[in-house]
Amino acid sequence: MEQKINSNLHNWFYAGLQYAAWQIKGKDIEMESILSVNNLQKRKGKKIILKDVNIELHRGEIVGFIGANGAGKTTTMKCIMDLYSYNGNIEKENIKVGALIEEPCFYPYMSGFRNLKIDSMYYKDISADRVDELVKELDMSQYIRQKVKNYSLGMKQRLGLAFALMDDPDVIILDEPMNGLDPQGVMVLRNTLKKLAHEKNKAILISSHILSEMQVLCDRFLFIKDGCTFEEKPDDNLEKKYMEIMEEEMDLCLNL
């Protein structure tokens, strides 16, 4: 009888742990907000690029930023990094933000390792082993001593990601980081980002047109259309939702 009771208690306790884990994975618990974008607006000449962009990033999550080409994803990211002037409010005090936006710039006649060493000199309190840690973490050992001019696009993407991670940022912003990556590179990137978010408590905002990978990688999704953002639940069918959005735009164009 006592053994049966103990067994039941064990089962109830294990079920409670499973439920707690489910809540954490599903982001049902309250998470710490670390970066907030409110009513972000941006004009380029007479053209309105961003009308009403709102983003809330929390520690420990990966947010997929999804939209058609020209929807305003890159512009939004550049505003967050203060590369563009804008109207609205972006709150990011007392945090470090690292970013890989568009194609990163390197010294092509130097090795990737030398490029990283030079980049590390721009930051304070970078450990002597930081470059080696990034090379290992991003699986770049085989080619990091080669000149960057001989790198493939995927190799350059990984090197650019290392630049973004150099200062151990609290928030990581990645614009199409999967471009040019082979399947192994995509897997390395996925595992690295999940570890950064879920184990090291980083907040990540990532854009990509590879929706199948975004479905696996991200905890929630933020769509941008016509310069405005709206959020979708993480259990939605991402490709189906995206096609619905695109069909609305196609119908609008056909009726013009």
Q: What predicted TM-score, i.e. pTM, was given to this entire model?
A: 0.81
Q: State the Cα–Cα distance between residues 241 and 71, nearest whole angstrom.
A: 16
Average pLDDT over residues 161-167: 94
Average pLDDT along the chain:
83
pLDDT tens readout for residues 179-225: 888 888 888 889 999 999 999 999 999 999 888 899 999 999 999 98
CA neighbor of 86 nearest in space, from 45, 27, 135, 43: 43
Q: State the Cα–Cα distance between residues 40 and 51, nearest whole angstrom.
A: 7
pLDDT tens readout for residues 14-69: 334 333 333 444 444 457 789 999 999 999 888 999 999 999 999 999 999 999 88
pLDDT in the model for residue 251 = 44
Q: State the Cα–Cα distance between residues 89 and 41, nearest whole angstrom.
A: 9
Strand partners, 117: none
Query: Exposed, middle or buried by CB within 10 Å (0-12, 13-18, 19+), for 99?
Result: buried
